[in-house]
Amino acid sequence: IGDYTDFYSSREHATNVGIMFRGKDNALQPNWLRMPIGYHGRSSSVYPSGGGSAGSGGCDERTSAVRRPCGQLQLDPRDPKKGSRYGPCEKMDFELEVAFFVGGPSDRESNDCGRPLTVEEARDRIFGYVLMNDWSARDVQKWEYVPLGPFTSKNFATTVSTWVVTTTALEPHRCETSAGVQGGTTNGGGEEPMPSEYLRDPEYGERVVVFDASNLPARVRSGSIGAHPRVSWTCGEPIAGSYDVNLSVSLRPEGSSESTRICRSNLKHLYWSSAQQLVHHSVTGCPMNPGDLLASGTISGEERGNFGSMLELSWSGTRNVDLDDGEVRTFLEGMGRVGFGQCSGKVLPADPYPYRSPKPTKPQDPVSRAKVKEVAEIVNSGIQPLQN
């Protein structure tokens, strides 16, 4: 993986988080409906399901071991001026996501030298999709995210499934997004902004025709048209701008034989499509390379059972999430396991400061030891070997 970017493309998720942090009236920031919001992640900490940041940790072949991170935690949630303390994350979370790999020419000719991608080009550059769990330290995030967004709360581990499902394979499962359309009149009668022209995807949602009668003579603008000079209606069949892919999350506490399905969602719950995410990423001329990984952000539906993170399921720790074995959770505790089908991870205990020294790894046989000595001598002599 060359580069990794995580977006924030589910309106339902962004609204839930906004209500918790800013209240219902200011749930969505003014820029959210105008462009896909994202941040740059760390490709160095993206692990395949079955690998992990802390070794096997007793996990099976489909489970990643993820060490609970340590960091700075705000002392008083109501008063940031009181500062922070260092310690293990107490509000560890999963995020149900789907990510796609960028394909295309290896020489970057398609959008090198500062030329952005069009929607059509972006659609051709999406190779395939994987399941993703973008592990999150919510208490670390709360303290650090102002003013530049998440940093160490997100960079410690991201788990992806090991199979890439191509766009060709997903073609029979195309469907409308949960938003239906972007811009225009909402069900509540309000007006939402139309995306900028470079972001408009002709395959996004319904075909909508807008008739502007504002310049017609007054005698023509009578009745309902006079009251609503811009009239729109749906024309033709809906366009399938997303994929109907059921997603779920199961949680199993350490020592328990039972897994509880705590979330059911769907890939269609994205306001910003994959093509729009890729287009906006390249709008400044940023080259997009084969192997780059772009993630959707948490995918949540409208109901509580469709929320794709513990932050939402527990509503920031104020509601219990009941498990089938009788235990309850608000965030991830102990060494429980979280599974997204074939994308699974096990949470290991934190390793706080002062850190343990890693065990030295020395080759056992004399031949291997001689090779290590030879390489060390070459490096120390200042001669750069052609290959390792």
**Residues annotated as part of the active site:** 13
CB 315 within 8 A of CB 18: no
Token pair for residue 315? 């509503």
| DSSP letter assigned to residue 55 | B
| DSSP letter assigned to residue 54 | T
CA–CA–CA angle 215, 220, 222 (5° rounding):
105
CB 49 within 8 A of CB 344: yes
CB 126 within 8 A of CB 58: no
Query: From CA 33, how far away is CA 30, in angstroms rounded?
Result: 7
CB 158 within 8 A of CB 338: no
CA separation, residue 247 to residues 114, 115, 128, 130 (Å):
37, 35, 16, 12
Alpha helices in the chain (DSSP H): 11-22, 119-125, 138-144, 167-170, 223-227, 274-281, 310-313, 366-380
Query: From CA 353, how far away is CA 358, in angstroms rounded?
Result: 14
